[in-house]
Amino acid sequence: MYIVTGGAGFIGSNLVHELNLHGITDILLVDNLADSRKLFNLHGARFADYMDKKEFRRALEEKALGISRVSAIFHQGACSNTLVDDGVYMMDNNFAYSKVVLRYAVEMGAPLVYASTAAVYGLGGPGHFTPILENERPLNIYGFSKLTFDHYVRSELAMGHIPTTVVGLRYFNVYGPREQHKGRMASVIHHFSKQILETGKVRLFEGSGGYGNGEQRRDFVFVRDVSRLNMFFAQTGPYTPRHADSAKTYQAVVNAGSGRARTFNEVAKAVMLVHGKADVEYVPLPADLNARYQHFTQADLTGLRETGCELKFTQLEEGIRETFQATNAVAV
């Protein structure tokens, strides 16, 4: 059995679909479906069972899940809303819950690949996106909750408490199909597309953080690449070792980005290649984002490559084209 927490969310649902493409359907899908829009992400998906997140966590804590063998756990479930300031909720949901999942993975001897975030780096500029302590300065409780779990994993690994695969993937700006339910937290690719289709215009931020109008830069990574990274470290699907004795134990916290920063102006142009030319309007950065906005991100992939992962990342223009090719099949 494979377990995907957050399996109806943006990254989780794309991971389920990617597993399905490789014939894997023996999946326990875990999520909170209070937001019923997530159901559209699962159209065409195949999985064996579903559990509500609270029920799943309770079963783990009571050692009552009742699964005899777990092939891998993909822990994608989290509150990823960077504007949520409820520290008690965020630490329980993103930190305490993750510790429960980690303990279960170790007990079952199952590989665990979990979602961390580039938000741990805060306002780091060029050269400050290597996963080391000096660079880790989150701007919000979301980034802090993720960093705290990264620290916990590192500590447990250093003390030799984890004999199995545990890999944290620090997601940069992930985009792709199945993110329509995220609202304001959806990628700029999603928002730019919606703006062009509805108004014939695209709105970018005016200059900020030392960058000109629309020249702020982010590392945009295609969601299918992120799904493949998860599967690589869990040695699942096309990455399954041919012989059982050739399986490798991965233990790391690494960046999951393309390794290349692109401007918002470039993103807008790439979206226009799909939807047609549109007017560009530059608007002020919202006041509530001013103190927590990353003007620049770019993943340092050194640590990722040192694990032996040579996965090639999809170029932005190609990823955007593939995203909207899927429009007729899924909501984006």
Q: Hey, CA dihedral for 176, 119, 112, 57, is it positive or negative?
A: negative
Highest mean pLDDT among 4-13, 173-182, 202-211: 4-13
Could you identify the residue written with the tokens 């302590």? 133
Contacts of 199-202 spanning 24+ positions with Cβ under 8 A: 200/278, 200/279, 201/278, 201/279, 201/280, 201/281, 202/268, 202/271, 202/272, 202/278, 202/279, 202/280, 202/281
Q: Is residue 192 part of a domain?
A: no
Residue 328 CA to residue 332 CA, distance in Å, equals 10
pLDDT, greater one: 313 or 294: 313
Q: Is residue 124 part of a domain?
A: yes
Strands of 2-5's sheet in order across: 49-52, 27-31, 2-5, 72-75, 112-117, 166-171, 251-256
The whole-number pLDDT of residue 186 equals: 86
Q: Is residue 213 part of a domain?
A: no
pLDDT at 32 over 90: yes
- Please state, rounded to an integer, the average pLDDT across all residues of the chain: 93
pLDDT at 326 over 90: no
Residue 313 CA to residue 304 CA, distance in Å, equals 12
Could you identify the residue written with the tokens 């993943």? 299
Q: Is residue 133 part of a domain?
A: yes
How many structural domains comprise the chain?
Answer: 1
Question: What DSSP string describes 147-167?
Answer: HHHHHHHHHHHHTT---S-EE
Q: Is residue 250 part of a domain?
A: yes
Angle at the Cα of 63 (from 57 to 66), degrees rounded to 5? 95
The whole-number pLDDT of residue 314 equals: 98
Q: Which residues contact 88 (CB under 8 A, 6 or more apart)?
A: none
pLDDT, greater one: 244 or 65: 65
Task: Write down the catalytic residue from 50, 182, 211, 293.
Answer: 182
Task: Write down the catalytic residue from 2, 142, 171, 175.
Answer: 142
Residue 63 CA to residue 100 CA, distance in Å, equals 11
Q: Is residue 164 part of a domain?
A: yes
Burial group, residue 99, by CB count within 10 angstroms (0-12, 13-18, 19+): middle
* 148-169 mean pLDDT: 98
CATH number of the domain that 130 lies in? 3.40.50.720
Phi, then psi, of 50 in degrees rounded to 5: -135, 140
Q: Is residue 190 part of a domain?
A: no
Whole-Å CA distances, 135 to 119, 121, 299? 11, 6, 12
The whole-number pLDDT of residue 244 equals: 66
- Going by the DSSP 8-state scheme, the letter that residue 94 receives in this structure is I
Q: Is 50 a catalytic residue?
A: no
Q: Is 201 a catalytic residue?
A: no
The pLDDT > 90 percentage for the chain reads: 84
Q: Is residue 233 part of a domain?
A: yes
pLDDT at 85 over 90: no
Reading phi first (left if > 0) and then psi (alpha if -120 to 50, else beta), residue 209 is in left
> Would you tell me the crossing angle of helices 264-275 and 316-325 to the nearest 10 degrees?
40
pLDDT at 64 over 70: yes
Domain housing 95: 2-176+221-258+296-313
Q: Which two tokens stand for residue 291?
A: 């103190």
pLDDT at 291 over 80: no
